[in-house]
Amino acid sequence: MKSSETGTLSNRLKTNIDQLNGLLGGSSDVVIKELQIEENTNISLIYIDGLVDTQVLHNSILYSLQEHIPYEQLGKLEPEQKIEIIKKQILIAGDLTVIVDYSQFVHELLSGSVMLLLDGTSTALRIGLPGWEDRNVGEPSSQSVVRGPMEGFTENLRTNTALVRRKIKDSHLWLETVQIGRVTQTSVSIMYLSNIANKELVQEVKRRLNKIDTDSILESGYIEEFIQETVFTPFPTVYNSDRPDTIAAGILEGKVAIIVDGTPFVLLVPTFFVAFFQSAEDYYQRADIGTLLRLVRFISFFITLLAPSLYVAITTYHQEMIPTNLVISLAAQRESVPFPAFVEALIMEMTYEILREAGVRIPKNIGQAISIVGTLVIGQAAVAAGFISSAMVIIVSLTAISSFVIPETGMSIAARMIRFVLIALAGFIGLYGILFGIFIIVLHLSSLRSFGMPYMSPLGPYNSKDLKDSIFRFPWPFLKTRPAENKTQNLFRQSTSSDEESTQ
């Protein structure tokens, strides 16, 4: 019987091994352990060194095959019956699967499973013994909180799904996994509550994932670009987080989580504009504190977006709007500056972006020194040399600090990108340019959708009930329903008086 890469396994052990060596190029990390359990019964254990738990393999699997073999019973059986005896009576392993397809055999081998081949049979036993090195569960790096869980996702898919299941111990929390990427064969899982999530939403997520046809998926950002509705927009339409509690909260609201093997960032769909200004800590603090923090974030967003352009517009075209004493101070500062405010703002903003990017790439042991040089020495020297005015340094510094207040990095980057466009418009036609830019931004935001849901919900279309957990955060007793825009199967997250009456 002849096998192929896309066909079935051969019933000859040597043929399967030779074909595997040819397919993998005789790779040195492929380990083939040959055993002879009786005179006419040869077995091979095949695995990738570094992807399996070799200690369990040696102490359990090999020990079972060498010490617990019923030779007299096996000698009277056909090869197909022998492999059933090995599976049910000999091997001490919980994760066992019979495999016939050759491509699945190769995929499972490269995914970290131990493959058992028995001469004379065209089937293989997959033994799940993953044992590669993992990063321990640690504190989230991108969305830190003062109060709340301090655990974050890792690069291991099973660790991440377990972290979510620790939060939601419900039988309706379903997990479905597919492999995406012709070369990488990356495992991508979706998690949702089957009794809450909208069924059409779940089907749409599956459809978009199955539609992806590419060589590689190395991070959830690949998936995000493939499944988002609008490609050409600076605003993120798919939410991502490295916090299990944030993802669990989204699933409880009827959203679908997309977990990609190899990255600690999990996607959540659908999402809305206001979600990027919400933090997990909002729900761990009192409602008044949570509301205050959200208002601060919205204000910081507008400062990040508008502060430099407003400064350029007012100092260039609308000096009459500035108090006299301040005008005199600004004029004195700008007397020796050789550039107009528009060019000055562009220079400072580009300098800040360069320093910010350098701070990310520079090794941590010298990063602090570089940041001090960049912020203090260069800034002070530029002002002293008359290259930049002090007011512009203050504006850019305030803008930079405000951008870090936004919890989700994607929205912060969007504000930084649009800021340059608004500066250009302010430099050409002043406040009219800023108003025109804001008008275009609002129109663009109103046209965006995330998996069919209006991106600006509940602000547009307006929904007064969902405002209780958008810009403001009402106390928990008032948050009886899930967001209506998610179109969940079960709208109520808390019992109501009508529910109690119906149960009596």
Per-residue model confidence (pLDDT) at position 73: 60
The per-residue pLDDT for range 135-183, each reduced to its tens digit, is: 888 888 888 888 888 999 999 898 999 999 999 998 999 999 999 999 9
CA distances from 49 to 46, 114, 463 (A): 10, 10, 56
Q: Which two tokens stand for residue 112?
A: 């970290």
Comparing C-alpha atoms, which of 29, 45, 49, 28 is closest to residue 37? 45
Rounded to whole angstroms, the Cα distance separating 247 from 173 reads 13
Domain locations in the chain as residue ranges:
11-126, 155-270, 284-448
* Cα(470)–Cα(66) distance, integer angstroms: 63
Q: What is the pLDDT of residue 231?
A: 85
Backbone angles phi, psi at 271, to 5 degrees: -135, 165
Query: Cα(219)–Cα(275) distance, rounded to whole angstroms?
Result: 22
Going by DSSP bridges, is the β-strand pair 256-260/186-193 parallel, antiparallel, or unpaired? antiparallel
Confidence of residue 310 (pLDDT cuts 50, 70, 90): very high
Average pLDDT over residues 227-239: 92
The side-by-side arrangement of strands in the sheet containing 124-128 is 30-38, 41-48, 113-118, 124-128, 96-99
* pTM score: 0.86
CA distances from 380 to 54, 347, 351, 370, 439 (A): 59, 15, 14, 15, 37
How many other CB atoms are found less than 10 A from the CB of residue 496? Answer: 11
What pLDDT does residue 502 have? Answer: 41
Nearest to 240 by CA among 265, 272, 261, 276: 265
| The two structure tokens encoding residue 475 | 């106390």
pLDDT bracket for residue 69 (50, 70, 90):
low
Q: What is the pLDDT of residue 4?
A: 46
Instruction: Give the three-state DSSP class for 151.
Output: coil
Q: pLDDT tens digit string along 76-115?
A: 667 777 777 777 777 766 778 888 888 889 988 988 889 9
Burial class (CB in 10 A: 0-12, 13-18, 19+), 444: middle
Cα–Cα dist 426/109, whole Å: 60
Q: What mean pLDDT value characterizes the chain?
A: 85
pLDDT at 40 over 50: yes
Look at the alpha carbons of 262, 265, 267, 268 in this order and tell me if their dihedral is positive or negative: positive
Instruction: With beta carbons less than 8 A apart as the criterion, state whether 125 and 136 touch.
Output: no
Q: Tell me the one-letter amino acid at 157.
A: L
The answer to whether the beta carbons of residues 161 and 175 sit under 8 Å apart is yes
**Pairwise CA distance, residues 89 & 485, whole Å:** 53
- For 40-44, 124-128, 150-154, 371-375, which range has the lowest pLDDT when averaged over its residues? 371-375
Residue 485's region, left for phi above 0, alpha for psi from -120 to 50, else beta, is alpha
Confidence of residue 499 (pLDDT cuts 50, 70, 90): very low
Q: What is the dihedral of CA 127, 128, 133, 135, to 10 degrees?
A: 180
**297 in Cβ contact with 277 (< 8 Å):** yes
355 neighbors 368 (Cβ within 8 angstroms): no
Give the C-alpha separation, 49 to 46, whole Å.
Answer: 10
Q: Which two tokens stand for residue 182?
A: 């012709």
Chain centroid to CA 129: 26
Residue type, 53: D
Distances (CA, A) of 36 to 69, 124, 322, 502: 11, 16, 91, 68
